Chain A
Amino acid sequence: MTTTSDAPARTAAGTPPAPDGADLAVHLLRLGDDALVLGQRLCQWITRAPTIEEDLALSNIALDLIGHARVLLTRAGRLDGTGRTEDDLAFTRSEREFTNALLTELHNGDFAVTVARQLAYTHYAVLYYEALAGCADAELAAFGARAAKEVAFHRLHADRWTLRLGRGTPESARRMRQGLERVWPYTGELFDEDDVVRRLAASGAVPSPAPLRPEWERRVTEVVTRAGLTVPAGSWRARGGRDGLHTEEFGLLVAELQSVHRRFPGGTW
């Protein structure tokens, strides 16, 4: 701990937002956008999942993610000095202002692609939220503790499907292999560390995701191996989401997410 370690806790009170809350606002917005965008993507499975149980599973997971996004965006809006609410942030930002990791916006693809994306995200999110649960900021720590338990349940769902598809038929194994290959180049961005994260981690405000990567790799490799598959090799990796540079398919997702708000600005029911 450095002598500045209490600074984030002081800004955590939130009112009025202190200037050193800016880094934390950026970071929480990224985490919140990850949850919001992945939740929105998963909602696109509703009525299209392979079984009714799977429809319920994916929509319930999406609901949890949107719950996480609400907490994170609310806090980010309070910290960044703009006074924006969770709704302002979700519904009035343009595509370039979203800072989610590209992994979370990837098109659902077939069911195996969605499972592979869930496998990568949930193993990361459990590790990161567990680390967040130990941070000095009481509000964020409470959120981390709770969210970690919820994503652990989602992780179980992803693990099971990875095993089931990998060890199912030759066709399901082929699809699962393709799913992993599709999403793997996008997983590295989850662990990226820039100056914002480095400053936050150095001050003890929130943990950096970077040191969690070896444990993440160990865990996903274990599941993928048990499924009779191999973790994709290859060094090409995509990044850009954290800087607002998104995939082509992201525009449609944002348009859909914001369509009701754009048509009925400020509408409530």
Chain B
Amino acid sequence: MTGPAPATARRSVREVRERVEAVPDPELPVIGLGDLGVVRSVAPAADGVLEVEITPTYLGCPAMPAITAAVRDVLAACGHPDGRVRQVLSPPWTTDRITPEGRRRLTAHGIAPPASLASSASSAPDGPVAVELGAVPCPRCGSRATRPHSPFGPSRCQSVLWCTACREPFPHLTAL
């Protein structure tokens, strides 16, 4: 160790990326932006300025301004005060971008993680009412005796399910 670095020391791209990914999501603070799959890239742009690309979960996600501000703060604290945050829509975010660690953290905090879209592709496409086929296990007791309660929940990305074993509702990150 050579003593504490000054606050404005320019951190490497890898270090910046780690810090950006560790920023907690404003609506789901148990999970970082990296594990949520919102950080697309951290790299110098053509003009040499460090640029962070983020993807909104939903187009109307009200957390985007807060996320953008938090990432800017990280860039400034890492010695990149001129760093840019850019929103990219393509390819669109899906819940399959949530990392295994992210899914583990969600479950640990009582939020059932989304079913994998890749593995649920066999669901009937035009079934009358099914949002997601296959029981979502209860994040508290693990029971699969759960049923949908409300397709819309406390935030846009969450629905509400009911565990018949716990007799309690629980939030579920809707697969999309």
**Contact surface of A with B, Cβ cutoff 8 Å:** 53, 56-57, 60-61, 63-68, 70-71, 138-139, 141-143, 145-147, 149-150, 153, 156-157, 159-160, 163, 226
Contact = CB atoms under 8 A, between A and B. Distances in A.
Contacts of B62: 63
Interface residues of B, number: 24
Nearest to A71: B59
A101 to B, nearest CB: 20
B65 to A, nearest CB: 10
A141 B135 CA distance: 33
Given A67-B61, A146-B92, A160 B152 contact: no
A70 B59 contact: yes
B60 to A, nearest CB: 2
Interface string B123-139: 00000110100000000
Contacts of B150: 53, 56-57
Given A145-B90, A156-B151, A163-B129, 7 more contacts: A56-B150, A56-B152, A56-B153, A66-B60, A70-B59, A143-B59, A153-B151
B91 interface: yes
A65 B92 contact: no
B89 A63 contact: no
A18 B150 CA distance: 47
Given A149-B176, A153-B176, A67 B91 contact: no
A230 B129 CA distance: 20
Nearest to A223: B128
Most chain B C-beta atoms within 10 Å of own C-beta, residue among A56, A139, A143, A150: A56
B131, B153, B156, B174, most chain A CB atoms within 10 A: B156
Interface string B154-176: 10100010000000000000101
A157 B152 CA distance: 9
Interface of B: 56, 58-62, 89-93, 128-129, 131, 149-154, 156, 160, 174, 176
A103 B20 CA distance: 43
A68 to B, nearest CB: 6
B128 A67 contact: no
B92 A145 contact: yes
Given A64-B60, A66-B60, A146 B152 contact: no
Contacts of B89: 71, 139, 142-143, 146
Given A142-B91, A163-B128, A64 B152 contact: no
B156 to A, nearest CB: 5
A159 B89 CA distance: 28
A45 B149 CA distance: 20
16 contacts: A53-B149, A53-B150, A56-B153, A63-B60, A64-B156, A67-B61, A139-B90, A145-B90, A145-B91, A146-B59, A149-B92, A149-B176, A150-B176, A156-B151, A159-B128, A163-B129
Contacts of A139: 89-90
Contact of B151 (A70, A142, A146, A157): A157
A162 B59 CA distance: 26
Contacts of A57: 150-152
